[in-house]
Amino acid sequence: MKITYREAVRQALHEALAADPRVFLMGEDVGRYGGSYAVSKGLLDEFGPERIRDTPLSELAFVGAGIGAALGGMRPIVEVMTVNFSLLALDQIVNTAALYRHMSGGQFSVPVVIRMATGAGRQLAAQHSHSLENWYAHVPGITVLAPATIDDARGMLAPALADPDPVVIFEHALLYNFEGELTDAARAVDIRSAKVLRRGSDVTLIAYGGTVWKALDAADALAAEGIDAEVLDLRVLRPLDDATIMASVRRTRRAVVVDEGWRTGSLAAEVMARIVEQAFYELDAPPARVCSEEVPIPYAKHLEEAALPQVPRIVAAVRRLVGKG
């Protein structure tokens, strides 16, 4: 069945709310407005204001309330409008939710799911367009997910809600209108594994979230030049699936990491470091990365496009790696 990414997320929310009375959705404009990205449209009419809760414009307050509800036995899904705004709740997520199990000696868990939009490409300027997934992937105590496909958008919420510890889900804003096939694989999604989306033999393109589809397009362009690229969707940013990453890199002997975050301190840097630590002697070339330029994301369309990883830059990086650049 062909549906949009937005509808896949909405179906996942609907299923969770229908299946478990402890589940509720809270956040800015999730109720009457139907969500900033129309993901929760219609849910208020069906489930009512007790379970679809519009909140004040205070991320610190409503994320904290979600954490408290989780400690009290509920299963809250907290929606933050954009990753930039989540910084206002960083203390609640990093200093509270992520630490409770450790600091309580295992007596408490915080089964909260925090969803937020991330990424650029919509001309919303710097305060609505950054990719800060790596900030959260740095923190022990939370699981960090980045669904890029329809199946993952549909299937990752259920195991996230079943997890006894905090899970942060990043939904790239450009993907909401993306259409694709919803398959039976959505019923068996796990939140621990990376996934090879395209098999190849010459180079592994490692991507996540909004960069996955650029990596797939780059692989198609490279195929026309006789370069066979494998595409690996990380999907889970913490904990990273080292086994799947290394198995792919050992097959192709080359790796390019595509990351919409900035190059300095990026998730791409972490992935490259692990490849060098674990598979150095099996590489035919140094790992490479394609990241966003080191600037706040611009508003002007041509500058925004220039600042972000794009297919030609990925193709050029691979050409250099295989000696055709």
Instruction: Please give the pLDDT value at position 91.
Output: 96
Tens of pLDDT, residues 307-320: 999 999 999 999 99
> Tokens at residue 278, please?
């674990």
- CA dist., res. 40 & res. 47, Å (int): 11
How many angstroms from the chain centroid is the CA of residue 243? 19
pLDDT over 80 at 325, yes or no: no
Q: Of 59, 79, 270, 304, which is the active-site residue?
A: 59
Pairing of strands 2-4, 179-181: antiparallel
Note whether 169 and 163 are within 8 A (CB): no
Instruction: Please give the pLDDT value at position 70.
Output: 98
- pTM of the prediction? 0.97
Tens of pLDDT, residues 6-34: 999 999 999 999 999 999 999 999 999 99
What's the rounded mean pLDDT across residues 169-183? 96
- CA dist., res. 153 & res. 170, Å (int): 10
Match 């105590």 to its residue by tokens.
141
How many angstroms from the chain centroid is the CA of residue 142? 13
- Domains in the chain, start-ordered, CATH in brackets? 2-188 (3.40.50.970), 195-321 (3.40.50.920)
Percent of the chain at pLDDT exceeding 90: 97
User: In this structure, what are the phi and psi dihedrals at residue 163, rounded to the nearest 5 degrees?
Assistant: -70, 135
Active site residue 138: no
Match 């809760």 to its residue by tokens.
53
* SS3 letters across the chain: CEEEHHHHHHHHHHHHHHHCCCEEEEECCCCCCCCCCCCCCCHHHHHCCCCEEECCCCHHHHHHHHHHHHHCCCEEEEEECCHHHHHHHHHHHHHHHCCHHHHCCCCCCCCCEEEEEECCCCCCCHHHCCCCHHHHHCCCCCEEECCCCHHHHHHCHHHHHHCCCCEEEEEEHHHCCCEEECCHHHHHCCCCCCEEEECCCCEEEEECHHHHHHHHHHHHHHHCCCCCEEEEECCEEECCCHHHHHHHHHHHCCEEEEEEEECCCCHHHHHHHHHHHHHHHHCCCCCEEEEECCCCCCCCHHHHHHHCCCHHHHHHHHHHHCCCC
Active site residue 128: yes
Instruction: Please give the pLDDT value at position 323.
Output: 86
Tens of pLDDT, residues 125-147: 999 999 999 999 999 999 999 99
Percent of the chain at pLDDT exceeding 70: 100
Q: Of 7, 28, 128, 130, which is the active-site residue?
A: 128
Tens of pLDDT, residues 218-275: 999 999 999 999 999 999 999 999 999 999 999 999 999 999 999 999 999 999 999 9
